[in-house]
Structure 1
Amino acid sequence: MARTTTTTATAAATTTTTSLEQANAAAAAAQIAFFRAIPWCAAHLAARPNLVIEQALSRRLGQGPGDTLVSRTLNTPETVGAYVVFYERPRASASSPAAGGAAASNTEQARPPVEEDPALAQPQGQSPSPSPSSSPNQNPTQPQPQNQPPPGLITQVQSLIALGPQLNGWPGICHGGVVATLLDEVMGQIFALNRAHGLLAPPPVMTAYLNTRFERPVRTGPGTGTGTGTGTGTGGGRHAEDGKGEGDGDLDGNGEGEGVVLVTARLVRNEGRKYWVEADVRGREGEVLATGEALFIMLREKL
């Protein structure tokens, strides 16, 4: 009987994992499609070598007790209805950490497939060409400037985020605390993604301070509609760990990108366990709406 029970439990766990992977993959695809239907967002997501587009790691279901603010509370059509990140794929592989890190954990390796143009993939054995935006610290053969991030790390992460009416402070204006949260969230994706690619050591990184400057009102939009049908909340499905929910499988279109912002985070400095990050929030015309600068500290490993 005990053996039968164990087998049943294992099968159930496998089914749940598969359902979560399918739900996360469907949610990612729906959100990418939502932004690609908005011309100015599509321009940022235009195919180019080594571009990775995916749902933020903190957005995925199955996180356990962590990241629930982003994956559940702010994952509804009228809060943050869609949220994707995009960045340049690092040159170092997960098996060769650039900063003394270990390979990605099983949870991080299980994230949904990323969106990448196969036509732009480099031929086998050919080194990828550096992009125009690559900084000198991406080339390990060059001398390393003092206090610059280690070579090989992902040093810039960008995100598109759709802000709904339930984030209002003033009518039609996103609450300032939410804006600060968005800055902190996207900054944190730098560390999450580097760890997922095996480029950063396992100890977690936490925010020591975040200074925010509000330049212009960050406007909210109408929300993203009726549902992805995944239970993620990205389109109105009820939160369901089995990946099932109510919805029609699509996000309502928002052709002008009302309430959509571009958040860019850059890792600019590193001293031991300390990492300095800058970020900004921009509107569809490229206007700066808010900026932030933060210090993150990697916790010490337990002895």
Structure 2
Amino acid sequence: MMESQDYAHFAAIPWCTRHLQGDRLIIKTSPSRTIKPTGEDALFSETLNSESTIFRLLQVYEEPLSRTERVNEVKAFLTLGSGLNGYPDVCHGGLVTTILDEATGMLIPINQERKSIPSGTFMTAYLNTKFIRPVPTPITILARTWFTKVEGRKLFMQGTIEDENGIVLVQAEALYVQLKNSL
């Protein structure tokens, strides 16, 4: 695990610390926070990368025992600012859905690298989101995402956004489909 500003930020938050401990944890800044010459990930690497939007983002998952075994769950910690408000002190619902789309999508490159799911381009076919409670701002949240089923070109996932007390604020179910041809 490399020491990063993102890691240091979340390690300093007591409730996050308990999620950042374990012998087989992989902890890293999300690759979507890196500016790419192709423009890929510009939303999270540029537009939503500021003190008033998504100040910090860290992804965490447990390394399976086998190198080819699928990583079934990813946790993403995010510190959200008031620049994401849709209502005073409440994150805009569209941004909440965007965060869940990003978090569920984290499972794909991790597992393609392990060759535990097919290579190629996957896109969101649907992301059904259930808003249980408002996501306040500013806040540090935990987005959890996991596979429920993998069927050929279809990846079925679920996800939640939780607050520091583990209270689920938002739930989602997603389907990603592998494109037959690359973009």
Q: TM-score, normalised by structure 2?
A: 0.93
| Pairing partner for 1:188 from 86, 105, 110 | 105
SS of equivalent residue, structure 1 residue 44: helix
Q: Give deviations 1:111-153, integer Å, cap 9, x for gaps.
A: xxxxxxxxxxxxxxxxxxxxxxxxxxxxxxxxxxxxxxxxx11
SS of equivalent residue, structure 1 residue 279: strand
Shift of 1:61: 2.6
Shift of 1:196: 3.1
Q: Please name the residue that 1:177 is paired with.
A: 94
1:270 is aligned to 2:172: no
Are the aligned partners of 2:70 and 2:114 in contact in 1 as well (CA < 8 Å)? no
Q: Hey, what's the Cα distance between the residues in 2 that align with 1:175 and 1:186?
A: 17
In terms of fraction of residues, the more strand-rich structure is 2
Q: Give deviations 1:252-285, integer Å, cap 9, x for gaps.
A: xxxxxxx000000010112221111000000001
Q: Please name the residue that 1:60 is paired with.
A: 34
SS of equivalent residue, structure 1 residue 169: strand
Are the aligned partners of 2:35 and 2:41 in contact in 1 as well (CA < 8 Å)? no
Are the aligned partners of 1:52 and 1:88 in contact in 2 as well (CA < 8 Å)? yes
Q: Hey, what's the Cα distance between the residues in 1 that align with 2:123 and 2:93?
A: 21
Shift of 1:91: 3.3
1:161 is aligned to 2:78: yes
Shift of 1:195: 1.9
Q: Please name the residue that 2:8 is paired with.
A: 33
Q: Please name the residue that 1:125 is paired with.
A: none
Shift of 1:92: 3.6
Q: Give deviations 1:91-122, integer Å, cap 9, x for gaps.
A: 343xxxx4xxxxxxxxxxxxxxxxxxxxxxxx
The one-letter amino acid paired with 1:83 is L
Are the aligned partners of 2:71 and 2:111 in contact in 1 as well (CA < 8 Å)? yes
Q: Hey, what's the Cα distance between the residues in 1 that align with 2:37 and 2:147?
A: 25
Q: Hey, what's the Cα distance between the residues in 2 that align with 1:277 and 1:72?
A: 26
Select the structure with the greater relative contact order (CA < 8 A; seq sep ≥ 6): 1
Q: Please name the residue that 2:174 is paired with.
A: 294
SS of equivalent residue, structure 1 residue 207: strand
Query: Cα RMSD (Å) of the superposition?
Result: 1.6
Q: Give deviations 1:46-75, integer Å, cap 9, x for gaps.
A: 2x1210100112112335211110111101
1:44 is aligned to 2:15: no
The one-letter amino acid paired with 2:20 is L
The one-letter amino acid paired with 1:288 is V
Unmatched runs of 5 consecutive residues or more in structure 2: none
The one-letter amino acid paired with 1:163 is L
Q: Evaluate the alpha carbon distance shift between residue 63 and residue 292 of structure 1 in structure 2; reply closer, same or farther with a 3 A threshold.
A: farther
The one-letter amino acid paired with 2:160 is D
Are the aligned partners of 2:28 and 2:60 in contact in 1 as well (CA < 8 Å)? yes
Runs of 4+ deviating beyond 4 Å:
none
Unmatched runs of 5 consecutive residues or more in structure 1: 1-24, 99-151, 222-258
Shift of 1:32: 0.6
SS of equivalent residue, structure 1 residue 33: helix
Q: Hey, what's the Cα distance between the residues in 2 that align with 1:296 and 1:177?
A: 19
1:216 is aligned to 2:133: yes
Shift of 1:193: 1.2
